[in-house]
Amino acid sequence: SQKIEQNSEALNIQEGKTATLTCNYTNYSPAYLQWYRQDPGRGPVFLLLIRENEKEKRKERLKVTFDTTLKQSLFHITASQPADSATYLCALEVGSARQLTFGSGTQLTVLP
Amino acid sequence: DSGVTQTPKHLITATGQRVTLRCSPRSGDLSVYWYQQSLDQGLQFLIQYYNGEERAKGNILERFSAQQFPDLHSELNLSSLELGDSALYFCASSVNPIGGGGLAGNTEAFFGQGTRLTVV
């Protein structure tokens, strides 16, 4: 069956370091992959979209890579700040109707 | 502010009751999606509409139904409520339908702030 897995439930890092989050998927070849941020009790907020023909995409301190051979996307936050603390979700189209489906998320905590 | 409006923000109701959650998409967005997020659970896709028509269905219970109206707002109806239905319900919208291989640059989804449903 098609699965989306995010590397760990929780990740703690020190302020100023680079946070790296992983999204793996199986049994699917998505045309693109998306990353969202979700704060407690709030709706997810879109961050970045990367297409299958793009290896890397950047937006300010964010960088996403997409390896269709490994079926993996890495999400990096450089020079992390406590305000970056949130749950980060990857999402891609899965299923016969290709609905947008989310991974379970990684809760990132940036320690001051 | 994402531009997606959900009402009500909070809802407390008893088991066996029926409720209606409302969603107004961003201006110009034709697609609406409903997701359920239970405590400590991920976002579970329920159903998707595009320009008034159902486009995709996830693991939506038979007790749940939805529709999208001509003005593009959507309603999610939950009936015969059970304690386990307590969750955050999110609505999202996008210009183009996500699904079916859409490759337009604006296929990201914009989420509302959710309706927190508590069934007691």
3-state secondary structure at position A29: coil
> Where do we find the tokens 């291989």?
B101
Could you report the per-residue pLDDT of B107-120, keeping only the tens digit for each? Answer: 788 999 999 999 99
Which among A51, A50, A6, A46 has a CA at the least distance from the CA of A25?
Answer: A6
Identify the residue among A99, A104, A107 best suited for mutation to test binding to B, counting B beta carbons within 10 A and taking the highest: A99
Q: What is the phi/psi pair of residue B46, to 5°?
A: -105, -60
pLDDT of amino acid B104: 47
Residues of chain B with C-beta less than 8 angstroms from the C-beta of A91: 109
Are the beta carbons of B111 and A45 separated by less than 8 Å?
yes
CA distances from B47 to A99, B39, B76 (A): 9, 20, 9
Give the tens place of pLDDT for each residue, A45-94: 999 999 888 889 999 999 999 998 999 999 999 999 999 999 999 998 77
Q: Is the pLDDT of residue A99 over 90?
A: no
**Closest Cα of chain A to B45: distance in Å?**
7
* The predicted structure's pLDDT at residue B98: 61
Distance CA A94, CA B48 (A): 13
